Amino acid sequence: MTRRRKWLLILALGLCAIVGLGGTWLWYLGKYVHQHCIMSAGLAFRVYSSNHQGRLPFSTNGFGDALLILAREDPSSIHCLCGPGDDGQIFAAALTNNSHLPEVHCSRVYVQGLTGILVAVAITSVLLGGTAFGRSSAWMAQ
């Protein structure tokens, strides 16, 4: 093997290692880093529900404003209502200005109209590795 081929082989192996480590890190971030947010959001919804006779936040203006209702009641829950890469500034600004929060500005989706037990089942399903409307909807159909 020539000197140049050895150098190219070492360079290619190093590049593969960097790409592999970067991919592993991104996978870890996507899978495990925000699981605590789902649990915190579930707790915030349960507390809201227990304080409002079993009802969850609802707004005719869309789920953005429904999430604002929850955030207005418990401002510490803003961090769990925001997805990865969202610092909550849009929620904070909407709360400060008492303005509408369009759904397109939300980094998480909230399905309005569920009861407390269905939200708990959906959150548990997500934590166990399923999807909120995959395994849990099959259970609800029984």
Same domain, yes or no, for 40 and 16? no
- Whether pLDDT at 31 is above 80: no
Same domain, yes or no, for 2 and 28? yes
Secondary structure in 3-state letters for the chain: CCHHHHHHHHHHHHHHHHHHHHHHHHHHHHHHHCHHHHHHHHHHHHHHHHHCCCCCCCCCCCHHHHHHHHHHHCHHHHHHHCCCCCCCHHHHHHHHHCCCCCHHHCCCCCCCCCCHHHHHHHHHHHHCCCCCCCHHHHHHHC
Taking the C-alpha atoms of residue 120 and residue 132, their distance in angstroms, rounded to an integer, is 10
Q: What local confidence, expressed as pLDDT, does residue 130 receive?
A: 46
- Whether pLDDT at 125 is above 80: no
Residues 6+ apart with CB under 8 A from 130: 136
Mean pLDDT, the chain, whole residue set: 74
**Residue 21's domain spans which residues?**
1-33
Residues 6+ apart with CB under 8 A from 46: 116, 119, 120
Same domain, yes or no, for 99 and 110? yes
Tally of domains in the chain: 2
Q: What local confidence, expressed as pLDDT, does residue 4 receive?
A: 83
Same domain, yes or no, for 41 and 19? no
Per-residue pLDDT averaged across 58-67, rounded?
88
Same domain, yes or no, for 65 and 19? no
2-6, 16-20, 33-37, 89-93: least confident range? 33-37
Supply the pTM of this predicted model.
0.58
Q: What local confidence, expressed as pLDDT, does residue 32 receive?
A: 59
- In single-letter form, the type of residue at position 15 comes to L
Same domain, yes or no, for 22 and 75? no
33 or 23: which leads in pLDDT: 23
Q: Each residue of 1-23: pLDDT tens digit? A: 788 888 888 888 888 888 888 77
Per-residue pLDDT averaged across 96-116, rounded?
80
Q: What local confidence, expressed as pLDDT, does residue 19 receive?
A: 81
The answer to whether residues 93 and 86 touch, using CB atoms and an 8 Å cutoff, is no
- Please count the CA atoms within 13 angstroms of the CA of 83 that sit on its side-chain side: 9
Q: What local confidence, expressed as pLDDT, does residue 79 receive?
A: 80
Q: Each residue of 39-54: pLDDT tens digit? A: 788 888 888 888 888 8
Same domain, yes or no, for 41 and 109? yes
